[in-house]
Chain A
Amino acid sequence: MSPLEYSLPVIWALIIGTAVALYVVLDGFDLGVGILFPFFPEEPRRDLMMNSIAPYWDGNETWLVLGGGGLWVAFPLAYSVIMPALYLPIITMLLALIFRGVAFEFRWVAKPHHRKWDIAFTSGSIVAAFSQGLVLGGLLQGIRIENNAFAGGAFDWLTPFSLMIGAGLVIGYALIGAGWLILKTSGDVQARARRFARPLLLMVLAVVAVVSVWTPLAIPRIGERWFVMPNIVYLAPVPVITALVGWWCWCAIGRGTSVQPFLAAVTLFLLAYVGLIISNVPYLVPPSIDVWQAAAAPASQVFMLIGTVILLPIVLGYSAFVYWVFRGKVDDKAGYH
């Protein structure tokens, strides 16, 4: 394997990994606000919540496009296995995102008959988050492959494990969403978000703990990764830091500044993500296809990399600019829809 053939897939894995992390954190908070809608039944509160995410949500979802599109061009083999294997949850997620997306626009136009779009917004957010959890769970537990193609059934992904990951992701997004509301709102909405955040945090930590115990026991490959010398020494900080961040999040929800609960929740998510990467590196489709096996021809990867290197900083730049323009708390009067 030439240095180029070795490094290109690694670079692409880093780009796609970053896109997925950005997606989970960014769309996570706006999906989370949708998941929390039922706990804020009053119309002005809901208007405020929707306004707090209206300028960002569609920009946040572009990272899903980069993750999926990147996987397609850089790792076509992985794409051709993952998509058929997880076809139903992925299609369900897309349909849910459609409902949620149009709810942003239709809800304002439909007023005062907007109740059905409140329901579309909430159910779309919950179903999209749950489906993403099913996708993640289905990927982690392993996909049946023969001759480099998916060889399983339409419902292989449906297991107690993937259902738990689905529920965990819904709760996790709700936690980041609550953090976002603490960050971007004041008064009653903020106070209520603080009240909901702690039970959500406890549930998220419980799911993280269960996954951390379940996966090494159920999948020997992951157990060996974490519990063999010297890995156990090098990797011990990950659970320790996760526990400390959980404690930080708990304290910040109670008496921290507006920004701290959100930062702590996001850090918690990123640590869980790092844990999953440690468990599964270098596989794209665990446990059979690694990044080098799945890679497209070096010429394709270089060609796409040139475009990405030019466009990615621009996308990051204007995304940061949008967050800067709409910084600070949202008030009751302004609307950006």
Chain B
Amino acid sequence: MFDTRWYLRAVAPLWPLGFVAILAGWMTTEIGRQPWIAHGILRTADAVSPVPYSSVATSLIAFIVVYTVVFGMGVLHIARLLKRGPVGATQSPEHALPNRPLAAAQAAEKSPPS
């Protein structure tokens, strides 16, 4: 699994899926509960604040622009970090607490099963 070339090649570009899953779950709850903003208590249409449409439209566009820029740059930076790969040698902590997973892992590393 760790050195099957075709498999790794297929898995490598899948890192955004976690973000997609979070956003999809969020959209499911928010869209799915309409027309209620508090289910059975208050309808979204009745909860609207006295803010003019022009203000709401302006802020919505501003949010879309800002999120596009920030998300776009974020995706770019993450992709660049992934491409660069881990920098420096991987280090293992020197003193793990006894009876913890880390200590067990270190012990296993020192005496590989024969």
Residues on A facing B (Cβ under 8 Å): 80, 83-84, 87-88, 91, 95, 98-99, 102, 106, 109-110, 149-151, 153-154
Contacts and interface: CB of A to CB of B under 8 A. Distances in A.
B25 interface: no
A154 B80 contact: no
A106 B54 contact: no
Given A109-B77, A110-B77, A84 B50 contact: yes
B38 interface: no
A109 B58 CA distance: 31
Nearest to A101: B70
Contact of A154 (B55, B66, B74): B55
* A-B pairs, 5 with minimum CB distance: A91-B59, A84-B49, A109-B77, A84-B51, A154-B55
B66 A151 contact: no
Contacts, number: 40
Nearest to B55: A154
Nearest to A149: B50
Contacts of B59: 87-88, 91
A99 B70 CA distance: 8
Contact of B49 (A83, A109, A110): A83
B24 interface: no
Interface string B46-67: 0001111011001100110010
Contacts of A87: 49, 51, 55, 59
A91 B62 contact: yes
A166 to B, nearest CB: 19
B73 interface: yes
A91 B60 CA distance: 10
A127 to B, nearest CB: 12
A239 B66 CA distance: 43
Contacts of A99: 66, 70
B102 interface: no
A149 B49 CA distance: 9
B50 A151 contact: yes
B81 interface: yes
Is the interface on chain B under 10, 10 to 19, 20 to 34, or 35 or more residues? 10 to 19
Contacts of A151: 50
Given A109-B77, A150-B50, 14 more contacts: A80-B49, A84-B49, A84-B50, A87-B51, A87-B59, A88-B55, A98-B70, A99-B66, A102-B70, A109-B80, A151-B50, A153-B52, A154-B54, A154-B55
B87 to A, nearest CB: 12
Contacts of A95: 62-63, 66
A146 to B, nearest CB: 10
B46 to A, nearest CB: 13
A154 B51 contact: yes
Contacts of A106: 73-74, 77
A288 to B, nearest CB: 15
Contacts of A84: 49-51
A95 B58 CA distance: 12
Contacts of A153: 52
Contacts of A83: 49
23 contacts: A83-B49, A84-B50, A84-B51, A87-B49, A87-B55, A87-B59, A88-B55, A88-B58, A88-B59, A91-B59, A91-B62, A91-B63, A95-B62, A95-B66, A98-B66, A98-B70, A99-B70, A102-B74, A106-B73, A109-B80, A110-B77, A150-B50, A154-B52
